[in-house]
Amino acid sequence: MKKILVVGNGDSIFVKDFIRQYKMRDVVIDIISYGQEKKIKNIRHQYNCIEYTSNKVLNQINVFLNFRKILNKIDDNYDVVIIHFIYFNLAPHIYALRKKTKKVVAVVWGSDFYRVTSRIKIFFQDIIYKNSNVIVFTNPKTKELFLEKKKNIITDTKVARFGLPVLDEIEKLVDSDYSILSNNFGLPNNKIKVMVGYNASLAHEQLLIIDQICDFSDELLERIHLVFPLGYGSDKSKALIEKALQNNKKISYTLLEKFYNFHEVAKLRKITDILINIQPTDQFSGSMQETLYAGGWILTGAWLPYEKIIELEPKISLINEKKQIGEKLKILIEKNAKNSFENTEKIKNYIKNESSWEKNISLWDEIVFDK
C-alpha cells in the first residue's frame, strides 16, 4: 500500500480534497499541517506545526521547533512527500524530509511565487525547489514565468490542476429553484448578486470595491446585493470589511462567514450573477471556473493569466487597472448581467476537460508515484 506525507495547510479545501482523492485510492496519508483544524478527515496521522501568537518572530521560532519535533515522530519510509504551497520556513527541514521519502514534490499555488518579494524568503524557497524531485504548477503560464526567472533551478517541472468536485455538484442542481437556493443563504431573489472575491484576504480588494460602489446612483444600488465570502482569512481583514460596509448604509450586502462543503458551494455558484476577481496574482481560480460553469459573469483583471479561457469568449469582463472596477461593474448592472445558461457550452466543456479529477488524477499519479 502506498504511503504519502502531505505538508500544507490542512484547513484548505483544496488540500482536503487532494487528500480525499488519494484516500479513495487506498493510499495511506499523513499530514504536517500549517492550519488550525484539530482533526482532518481521511488522515492516518496529523501533526499541526503552528501556534499562533501576536509576535511574528515568535511564530517563526515556534514553527521551526514544532516542525523539528514532528520530524522525529513521523515515518521514515514514505513513497512521496507532497509540499502544498512553498512555505519559506520549511527550508531548514527540507534535508530531513528528503531522508524520509523516495520523492519530494513541491506544488506551487501561485501567491507563494507571485507575491513573495522578500529576498530572504525567496532564498529559502529556492532551497526547497532545488531539493525537490518535481515542481508542479496549475497553470502553464506560471511555469513559463518560473523557468524564465529561475534559470539556476534545474528541477523537473510539470503542470497539473486540482480537480473541482463542485462542478459535479453544480450539475446536480440544474433543475433547482433559484429562489429556494437564494433563500438558503438569506439572499434576495430580485437583485443582481455580486460576489466580492472568494475569501477574506484583502488581496481581493474588497475595500476598494466598497469605496467605488458607494459612488453609484441610488438607482444602481437598488439593483444589486453584494455578497462577501469570509469563510477563511484573518479576523482583522473581516473586521475592516465589515467596518467599511457599516460606514456605507446605502449598500445592500450579506457576509457569509461559514465554511461551506462542495454541495453548498455549488448552490452559491448557481445564484452568483457576477464574481469580482481582481486580486494581483492568480494561477487559475477554482471559484472563477465554478462561477462560469454555473452560468455567472466574471469581472476580472486583464493582468491575470487567463488568456486561454478568454479565447472561448466566455462571460468575462476585463479591467486593465483596479480603478476601473466601478465603471465596468456599472456596465454589467446596466445590461442586467444575470446567471444563465446563455453562452456557457464552450466554456463548460473546456472547464470540465481541464479541471475535473477524472482528467487530472492520472497526471497526479504520474507525478506522485512514477520514478
The arithmetic mean of pLDDT across residues 20-38, rounded, is 94
In this structure, are 76 and 37 located in the same domain?
yes
In this structure, are 70 and 100 located in the same domain?
yes
pTM confidence score = 0.81
- pLDDT given for residue 330 in this prediction: 96
Q: Is 323 exposed, middle or buried (0-12, 13-18, 19+ CB in 10 A)?
A: exposed
Give one DSSP letter per residue of 23-47, joined into a string. Answer: HTTT-EEEEEESS--S--TT-SEEE
Residue 364 pLDDT level (bands cut at 50, 70, 90):
very high
- Residue range(s) defining the domain that contains residue 284: 166-354
In this structure, are 85 and 52 located in the same domain?
yes
Domain count of the chain? Answer: 2
Burial profile 252-282: b = 16 or more Cβ within 10 angstroms, e = fewer: bbeebeeebebebbbbbbbbbbbbbbbbeeb
Give one DSSP letter per residue of 262-299, joined into a string. Answer: HHHHHHHHHT-SEEEE--S--S--HHHHHHHHHT-EEE
Residue 314 pLDDT level (bands cut at 50, 70, 90):
confident
- pLDDT given for residue 342 in this prediction: 87
- pLDDT given for residue 21 in this prediction: 95
In this structure, are 240 and 348 located in the same domain?
yes
> Is residue 229 over pLDDT 80?
yes
In this structure, are 69 and 173 located in the same domain?
no
Q: What's the mean pLDDT when you consider all of the chain?
A: 92
The arithmetic mean of pLDDT across residues 349-360, rounded, is 88
The arithmetic mean of pLDDT across residues 97-120, rounded, is 93
In this structure, are 215 and 335 located in the same domain?
yes
The predicted-structure confidence for 245-295, as pLDDT tens digits, reads as follows 999 888 999 999 987 889 999 999 999 999 999 988 776 788 999 999 999
> Is residue 232 over pLDDT 70?
yes
Query: Which amino acid, one-letter code, is at 26?
Result: D
- pLDDT given for residue 359 in this prediction: 86
- pLDDT given for residue 341 in this prediction: 87
CB 10 within 8 A of CB 46: yes
The arithmetic mean of pLDDT across residues 54-61, rounded, is 84
Is residue 123 within a helix (H) or strand (E), and if so which, with residue range? helix 119-130
The number of beta carbons lying within 10 Å of the beta carbon of residue 33 is 23
pLDDT above 90 as % of the chain: 71
Task: Out of 72-86, 166-180, 198-212, give the one with best mean pLDDT.
Answer: 72-86
Residue 34 pLDDT level (bands cut at 50, 70, 90):
very high
In this structure, are 137 and 258 located in the same domain?
no
The predicted-structure confidence for 130-166, as pLDDT tens digits, reads as follows 999 999 998 888 899 999 999 999 999 999 989 998 9
**Nearest C-alpha neighbor of 212 from the set 337, 338, 328:** 328
In this structure, are 236 and 132 located in the same domain?
no
Residue count (the chain): 371
CATH assignment at residue 233? 3.40.50.2000
CB 235 within 8 A of CB 199: no
- pLDDT given for residue 44 in this prediction: 97
C-alpha–C-alpha distance, residues 298 and 275, integer Å: 5
- pLDDT given for residue 178 in this prediction: 87
Secondary structure percentages of the chain, helix, strand, coil, to 5: 45, 15, 40
In this structure, are 39 and 178 located in the same domain?
no
The arithmetic mean of pLDDT across residues 302-324, rounded, is 87
C-alpha–C-alpha distance, residues 322 and 91, integer Å: 35
Residue 200 pLDDT level (bands cut at 50, 70, 90):
confident
Residue 51 pLDDT level (bands cut at 50, 70, 90):
confident
In this structure, are 258 and 232 located in the same domain?
yes
In this structure, are 156 and 172 located in the same domain?
no
The number of beta carbons lying within 10 Å of the beta carbon of residue 302 is 14
In this structure, are 147 and 174 located in the same domain?
no
- pLDDT given for residue 371 in this prediction: 66
Span between the terminal Cα atoms of the chain, in Å: 16
